[in-house]
Structure 1
Amino acid sequence: MVSSKLTSPPAGTVTPGTESRRKAWSLTALLVVLYVVNYGDKAAFGIIAQSLKDELGISASQVGLVGSLFFFAFTVGGFFAGALNKWLSLRTVLIVLAIVWALAMLPMVFAATFGVLLVSRMVLGLAEGPSSALIHTATYSWHTPGRRGFPGALLASAASISKIALAPLLAYLSVTLGWRSALVAMAVIGVVWCFFWTRHWEVGPYIPAKASKDAVDPNEEPRVPWHKILLTRTFISAAFLVASIYALVTVVLTWLPSYFEVGLGYSRLQSGSMLAIPSVAGLISLIGGTLLSDRLSARGWSSRFVRIAAPSICVVIGGGMLFFLPSISSSPGAVAIVSIGYGVGVVVLPLCNAAVSEICPPQQTAGTLGIFLALMAIGGLVGPYVTGLIVDAAATPGLGYAKAFQALGLTSAVSAVLTLIFADPERDKSAVRGRVALPQ
């Protein structure tokens, strides 16, 4: 007879189907706030970029290099998500990461040099890298696989929320109190979040909690070899697609206020505040698209259609709009093209994350998403630096930014077409989970 010690679930878990939905959405909201802080740390750099150029005497390509090295460290950090999830509980690891983010804001406040800027942003990137997969894992623990599109969209909308809610505040602080005040504000917000997290977090029932070494759950799906997950056509093609869109997201975070200011002629305060405009379009796309996706999924529509085909077509449309940006001479017209092109494309991010989470067994979700989101972050490694090079080489800054967005639009559209051809989550889920499991 198997002892109760071996068959009982880990302490603190909730039986699937009996969880409080109010608690599920409250904790999802708390995780969205953490992701808003995450993106606020990124947006702060874009908002103060011109001030840093003026004070430190650095070039556009150097600003882009800092942005890209941040995402290099972010990519490296992402590969540690699975290991951190294995070593530490979600409660512990996320509070540690949030505190590191807050501390990483402060060196530039006391010693503003290019070297300090570079190191502090890389430390921030390394600490933020694993957080994306861990935040998604924590959120998915409260939602069934078939209904993860909308919660995933709320997480993806954190970028938009940070630009709508935080960017105008950070721009105002930067202009009125100096750029250092924006960094101090983000550090304080991060520490305040930790207080609420330690009081309220509890792991949900749909992803296994961190259990004791000897505990065994007889209902748990067996693990599968990692290469069987990572070499599926869905994983590979979706990784290229989200990397291309993430390049656009990071260029918007790093360079859009500069484009509005030196390329389109808006004031520094206007440019920082206008960072919210593309985010409104993105928020509408994310919420509307994923609500529709979850509803269609509940009605039996295939995952390939709702999480791959439909959002990929949106990316093709958005990329096509960005391709024509250099031919737009009107400043309001350019703002509209960037905003709509960005907005319709970002819906692919939560839906591809949900599609990839379908392929793997639940206990491998954090590791799978950690690798997937680390590969996604390669777009952030390339985008900001290449944009800086294009701007420095262009006849005018405005033309340089427009050509950079044109290249991003073309790249994302091609990636979307490839994903349409190759990705099929249901096919790859059957192939992966039908394999012989690894020994436990």
Structure 2
Amino acid sequence: MTKQPEVLSSAEAVDVEQPAGERPQGKMTPFRAWSITILLALFLFINYADKAVLGLAGSDIKVDLGLTAAQYGVVQSGFYWLFAIGALSLGALSSRINLRWYLAILMLVWVATMVPLLGTIGFSALLICRVILGFAVGPAYALANHSAQSLFPAEKRALASGVVTAGSSLGPLVMAPILTWIIVQWDWHTAFGVIAAAGLVWAVLWLIFGGSSKVERKGGAGAGVAATKAVKAAKSKDDEPANVPYRVLLGTSTIIGIAALNFFSYWSTSLKVAWLPVYLADGLGYDTLAVGRLAALPFAAAAVFSIAAGFFSNWLYKRGYSRQVSRGYLAGALVAGAGLSMWGFTVVPQGVFQMVLVILAFSLNTASIGVGFTALGDLVYGKKRGGIMGGIVAISSLAGILSPLFLGWTITAGATAVEGYEKGFAMVGIMMVAGAAVATFFIRPDKDLLKLRAWADKNAENEKEAAS
């Protein structure tokens, strides 16, 4: 197997002093670090629950506001108009603003976009609210992962990212039936009010308990100092992220590979939201109740697989496997597995096995995202991590625009709707497998860590010579 350089145990690594510039204030126990991670998972939970409201209340909103199907489609697409710009610009700001305040402000902006929806509103106002929400939501996933990863040493980051990623799947899964009941009992305005109230509560909890700090090892200050010195003596400096310019980071093969991998992964994510329920009904003939239950299964599986993948990545890393294996190969295999399953459910008979493949096709790819972002956490200096992750989210969002359009085209071009679905899903599945194979080839975190460190050392020497 491919082994990495000496890996520190959890007990040793938690006291490693972080590089200047990304060293947080204060200390925290592992219990508090995991508590903050749960808060970050709830951050995405609320975000994705909000995305579900518009779809759940779509029919009522169209009737109440007198929207045509075209206008409703514009409202749905408006969410993504500034999504990529928000991911890039707001993600980059994370290096200059304390994340405790930054995430709370983002949540309050989300809440502010929902307040107008509590009363009488028209098409234009609804569209503006969704566009602003999309802009503010853009960096959410990247910042939540960045914040969680800052709390843990390398061998624990993947599980933390998995837990955070699970929040995005649990949001629609848990809240869809609750919000549907609220809409039926009261109205869609109330559903948005519930989400807004949850956002306010989260913002207060985050301001009280949130923030980034290094994990404090049990045993008192003296033991911590001794352990820190021992770790510093044993740990290779080549294993630490180097503070290099964005232009240097963007040229590393690992960042290019993860960006490409996430792009192919997001094809499945977008189709799960936009077309899976319709395919289950129109393509496979399931009734409305069955569609509601079956469409929820990939979200549940994605939450389980995200946590399991994070745990497995940590397990591999702590047992000496390189980051290329424990992060890159694992993330690539999950996307390829999702693509293979997507192709598979178009060629097998309808039944239980087909549904298993459907579930895998729309959940394994989600599990890959947290593992891939962990490789970024290992590679990118803390102050630049949010910007890099935000940029990758922006690239991934392009698939959110392309994939629904592509499947719509194949359905229209097919001799029958079923044939159009099968051809479209099969083509996307094959593309995901091929794309994952190529992208994984570029993910080499261990080599890139050494390259970035060498660049930083050489640059420091040049500056020293110039100063002298």
Q: TM-score, normalised by structure 2?
A: 0.79
Aligned to 1:200: 209
Deviation at 1:86, TM superposition (A): 3.6
State the distance in 2 between where 1:244 and 1:66 align. Answer: 25
Give the RMSD, CA atoms, in angstroms.
3.2
Q: Which has the larger radius of gyration?
A: 2
What secondary structure is seen at the aligned counterpart in 2 of 1:79?
helix
Q: Which amino acid aligns with 1:21?
A: P
Q: Which amino acid aligns with 1:97?
A: L
Q: 1:169 aligned to 158, 168, 178, which one?
A: 178
Of the structure 1 ranges 129-138 and 31-40, higher mean CA displacement relative to structure 2 is found in 129-138
* The one of 90, 98, 106 aligned to 1:89: 98
**Among candidates 41, 46, 55, match of residue 50 of structure 2:** 41
Contact 2:88–2:390, Cα closer than 8 Å, also in 1:
yes
Alpha-carbon offset, residue 364 of structure 1: 1.8
Give the secondary-structure state (helix, strand or coil) at the position aligned to 2:82: helix
Q: 1:350 aligns with which of 352, 370, 388?
A: 370
Quick check: 397-406 or 335-344, which moved more?
Answer: 397-406
**CA 1:22–1:198 in structure 2 vs 1: closer, same or farther (change >3 Å)?**
same
Q: Which residue of 2 aligns with 1:366?
A: 386
Pairing partner for 2:82 from 69, 73, 86: 73
Alpha-carbon separation, structure 2, partners of 1:175 and 1:400: 34
Indicate the percent of aligned positions where both proteins have the same amino acid: 26
Matched residue, 2:247: 227
Q: Which residue of 1 aligns with 2:303?
A: 283
Change (3 A) 1:159 1:236: same
Q: Which residue of 1 aligns with 2:327?
A: 307
User: How many residues get paired?
Assistant: 417
Q: How far apart in 2 are the matches of 1:201 and 1:316?
A: 36
Structure-1 separation of matches of 2:21 and 2:202: 30
Gaps of 5+ in 1: 1-6, 207-218
- CA distance in 2: counterparts of 1:389 and 1:180, whole angstroms: 34
Equivalence map 1:44-55=2 (5 Å): 44-49=53-58
Q: 1:133 matched to which residue of 2?
A: 142
Normalised to the residue count of structure 1, the TM-score between the two structures is 0.83
C-alpha distance in 1 between matches for 2:339 and 2:136: 31
What does 1:5-404 align with in structure 2 at a 5 Å threshold?
13-14=25-26, 19-49=28-58, 56-58=67-69, 66-108=75-117, 110=119, 114-205=123-214, 223-266=243-286, 268=288, 271-327=291-347, 330=350, 335-391=355-411, 400-404=420-424
Q: Per the alignment, do residues 344 and 202 of structure 1 end up closer, same or farther by CA in structure 2, a change over 3 Å counting?
A: closer
2:163 maps to a residue whose letter is L
Offset, 1:96: 1.2
User: In structure 2, what residue type is equivalent to 1:232?
Assistant: T
Q: Which residue of 1 aligns with 2:432?
A: 412
Distance 2:308 2:128 in 1: 39
Distance 1:392 1:121 in 2: 28
Shift of the 95–398 alpha-carbon distance from structure 1 to 2, 3 Å rule, reads: farther
Q: Cα gap change, 1:241/1:332 in structure 2, threshold over 3 Å: closer, same or farther?
A: same
State the secondary structure of the residue aligned to 2:399. Answer: helix
Conserved? CA contact 2:92–2:384, under 8 Å:
no
Note the C-alpha offset of 1:397.
5.5
| C-alpha contact 1:68 1:384 (8 A) present in aligned 2 | no
Structure 2 unaligned blocks of 5 or more: 1-18, 216-236
Deviation at 1:301, TM superposition (A): 0.5
Give, as a single letter, the amino acid of the residue that structure 2 aligns with 1:140: Q
**Residue range with higher mean Cα deviation, 312-321 or 253-262:** 253-262
Alpha-carbon distance change, 12 to 330 in structure 1, aligned in 2, over 3 angstroms: closer
Please say if residues 48 and 179 of structure 1, whose CA atoms lie closer than 8 Å, have aligned partners that are also in contact: yes
Aligned to 2:93, the other structure's residue is in SS state helix
